[in-house]
Structures are given as C-alpha cells and as structure tokens.
Structure 1
C-alpha cells in the first residue's frame, strides 16, 4: 500500500468537515497537497472516493466503505501504540502463577529463567497452594492461571496437559518395603513417615487420602523440602512420599529406594488451568503458550 496513516486521517478530516479545504486545514497541509493525496488514493483503488460539487464534496459508496475501514485501522493503530508504550518506557508487567508444590520446586525453576531473560519487562510471582484451593481461586476469578494436579475435579475450567507428575514412595535401601514393585497407600500407612512441614500443600493432599482410609499418618520428622526428606530417609529415619521427578534427581545424591504407588491420586498429571484461555490478557496468554510449548523439554529432563 502506498498510503500511510496520515492519508487515512486526512480522508476522515475531509469527511468530518465536508470540505477538502477544511480537511486540509485540520491536517495542517496545503489544499493542493491534500488534493494530490486524495487523488493518489483514488488512483490506487481505481475508483472515485468523492464526488465534487460547487457546494462541496460527497462520499461515494466506495468512499463510505473506505471511511469505515480507515476508522478501524486508526483505532487499531492507537491500540497498538498503547500496547507498546509500557515496553518502550520500561514499565514492568506482573504475572501471578498459582502452582502446587511439585510444579514450584521441580518444573518451573527449569523453565522460568529462559522466559524471564527473553522478557525483561516481566515479573512472575509464584503462589504455592494446594490444587483444590487453586481450582477454587480460578473459578472465583481470584487467580488467572494455575498449575494443578489432575487428581482434583477441574471440570468447570479449561485445562491443558503440562507434565506427568506421579508420586513415589521412597524408603531406606534395607527397608521392608524396598523389595516391593508397587504399593497401595493402605499398605504403608502403619509405617513411620518423614513428611513435609504442616500445612504444606502436598502433605495435606497425602493426609487427605489417608483420612479416606480412616488412618492418620505418624510422623517421625517433618521437614521443609524434598532434599531434606531424601537425606533423612536415606539415613534410615522413615519412609516418605514425594514426586517421582524429585526422587530421581535426589537419588543421585542420597541412597534410598523408590517404589511405584498405585491409584489415580498418585499417578497424576500437572495441568495448566484457567477459566478460559481465550479471554486472558496478552501477557498471560503468551506465558501460557510458552509453558505448554515446553512439555517436550520437561519429558526429556
């Protein structure tokens, strides 16, 4: 196209004033320059946009269509300008991602550095919570985007697969359970546990499953993270349930045994969830697309 936004604005000024002369004045150019620009527009489309009369000018049907589109183009150009302004001024965009403990400790540290380096204007706050609480926050509009366990009911939300995230039992290498290939939760609840600190979202989820079996977990020790748990389990203190991904990494440092757990609650997936991905603002949509695009990288690590 050989015309620019100035030509569109000029055209609309002419239309609004009903006069080529007044339109030229509003655009701060000479009448001759305005006339030449309009003529070039008409030559470009091979059709007159105005009919000229002694009393002034009047738009043709083609001119009316051109005016409608010119208004839309200028409006979109202003929206583009407004959208780019925060970036040009170095303003910070903040995103809050609600996530369960496994996502926060085992997946996001691998992915977020790359995204933050590529998007220097962005700040990301990670808000850890239990999956059920994240689902409620999303449904109420308190949260915009969350990573949740597939075990919980999220039928009222839009979800996308993010990563496989099963739980496993870890125990000392000489423990009675070390010879087992797969275990049910009911098989292990009478053994002393090493767990995460009270109110930790993953530990609350495990305790909720135990309550359904009318059991209470007996803790020998409660610790703040998976690394500390793996260390004391390896030293023979008790058994624990942690994400398989964490167990695989920590098993390179601490010598413990892993046993697969049965049940939907243990063989879970991480889902990226939102009320509706299509109505998220641009920053959240871009971030969500990035997270889902990294699934292959997660599978290979």
Structure 2
C-alpha cells in the first residue's frame, strides 16, 4: 500500500466531522471511494482505526495514535509547500559571505561558479573584511557566515576548517633574501615592501604583526591586487607577502622567488565561522555544506 497525503487528509476530515459520509464530501470523493481507502489503511496496519456506529464513527485507540501522527505529517507537508512555493515562483535567495583577501581572490573564484550554476535562484555578495572585524560582526549577528583566519580567537563562534592558507614572502630572484629557504617576519622589515591598499585585510594583518615587533613596514608602492604586486616584485621594486596559493598561481606568469615564512601567524588556516551552523537559515546551511565539501578539491589543487 502507498499511503499519500490525500489519504491522511481524508482520514482527518472524517475525524473532524465524525462521519465517513461528511468526511468523503469534504474530501470531494464518493462515500464508496472513501470507505475503500480507509479499509486499505486498516488492512495495511492490521487494526481498526474507527469503530462504526449508527450516528457516525469514533476513533479506536489505534486511530487516536494514527491521528496524532497524521496531523504532524500534514502540517509538515503544508510547511514544505510554503517553503517550496517561492522557488517555483522564481524568487531569489540573497546571501552575504564575509571573507578575507585570500579567500576572495584565491578560493572562492574556483568554487562559486559551480554553486551558482547549480542554484540559479541564489545571489551571493562577497564582503571583504579583516578577520577580527568578521568575528565581531558574527558575534553581533550582523554577519551570518564568514571565512576567517584561524590565527584569530573566534570566541563564542562555531568554526569548521575550510583550507590551509599559509603566507609566503616573494622577492626578486636576485634579492639578498632569495638565499633563504625560510624567514621570520622581523628579518624582512629592513627592506622596502610592495603591499596591498590600506583597506585590504591581509595587509592590515601583516602590519599588526610588524607593530608587535615595534616595527613599521616601509612601502615603496601599494597596489590593488596580488597580480599587480607579483609583476612589480618581479621587476625588482621590492618584496611582498601574499598567500602561498596566490604566489604559486602567479609564479607561472612572473619571475620571482618564494620564501617560506615561520611563525603561527603565517601558517594560517581558513575557517568557516558562524554563531550556530544549525540555526542558520536554510540557504546559508546549504551554502556552508557546499563550501566544506570542497575541501578535498582544494587540496588536490595545492
């Protein structure tokens, strides 16, 4: 037997009216058809759901239990219809993902096209911010979902690992620092830098590290993106710090040298963060699950 929601609603109509005849009329089917459907349900569960009387029908104990579950199922079905209706009408879901410079330039462009093609009703806005700002916004509830650096303490937030995101130093191939395989930040601060614009979250993070060493970064030039920085560094203007993934991508286009950076601040991990993943709106939960499922794909690209 295949029990459908029409049968459940028929059953509830009979319960509400106390009559098989009136329940059939409310369901817009004949008395005979209604009687046959109820009989099939009783045969399927091997028990009587109603006791028949001259004045109508009454629920048996089994029928009472069936009623409780039928009510829940019908309510859930109606809720499902309400949830799905906007999609059928072509409504769009708008989401904002907060992210740092590295996530915005090196990870999300690889992943978002697939998600947007699979979900044509979705619109995603990327909001770049420094990780400490994102954490504060998530805590306040002004942000729902963010990709933050694991270097920052995300108090009162739930976090899940998204990807490794280490930083490296890039320098001209003939630069004195190119002789090193690994450097600490303090060993680089006497040399002129090429950096991102002041509003970029990565540059703010690097500058904060320099301040903790009582040093200030000397900029010869600030540029809007990693590609421009790589080109200028390759031409001998200065040194720069950028995500390892960006350096690997750009090394195919520009001739510069990469040096590993030591220190926990440089061995970053990207974390997906929210106040409570289970409490996110359905659209955000679906998007978060997609992002986390791409971790193996990102590892293959490293």
Pairwise TM-score range, normalised by the shorter structure: over 0.9
Aligned residue in 2 for 1:96: 96
Q: Secondary structure at the match of 1:291?
A: helix
Q: Taking structure 1 as the reference length, what is the TM-score of the superposition?
A: 0.97
Once the two structures are overlaid, the 10-residue window that deviates more, 204-213 or 28-37, is: 28-37
Q: CA deviation at 1:37?
A: 2.1
The 5-angstrom pairing of residues 110-149 of structure 1 reads: 110-149=110-149
Task: Report whether the alignment pairs 1:299 with 2:299.
Answer: yes
Instruction: Return 5+ residue gaps in structure 1 as ranges.
Output: none
- How far does residue 282 in structure 1 lie from its aligned partner after superposition? 2.0
Following TM superposition, where does structure 1 have runs of at least 4 consecutive aligned residues deviating by more than 3 angstroms? none
Distance in 2 between residues matched to 1:156 and 1:264, nearest whole Å? 22
> Post-superposition shift, 1:130?
0.6
Secondary structure (helix, strand or coil) at the match of 1:300 reads helix
Structure 2 CA distance, aligned partners of 1:264 and 1:87? 45
Q: Map residues 181-260 of structure 1 onto 2, 5 A cutoff.
A: 181-260=181-260
Deviations 1:209-257 (A, max 9, x none): 1111111111110000001111111111111111111111111111111
CA distance in 2, matches of 1:56, 1:251: 83
- Residue-by-residue CA offset, 1:145-172 (whole Å, 9 max, x unaligned): 1101010001421111111111111111
The TM-score, its normalising length taken from structure 2, stands at: 0.96
Separation in 1, partners of 2:224, 2:98: 19
**Which residue matches 1:81?**
81
Shift of 1:135: 0.9
Alignment-derived partner of residue 152 in structure 2: 152
- 2:40 maps to 1:40: yes
Question: 3-state DSSP class of the match of 1:79?
Answer: helix
Cα distance in 2 for partners of 1:183, 1:35 equals 83
Cα RMSD (Å): 1.2
Greater shift, 163-172 or 37-46, is seen at 37-46
Secondary structure of the equivalent of 2:52?
strand
Which secondary structure does the structure 2 equivalent of 1:147 belong to? Answer: strand
Cα deviation, residue 33, structure 1: 2.6
SS in 2 for 1:186: helix
5+ residue gaps in structure 2?
none
Out of 60-69 and 73-82, give the one that drifted further: 73-82
CA distance in 2, matches of 1:14, 1:278: 38
Which position in structure 2 is the counterpart of 1:282? Answer: 282
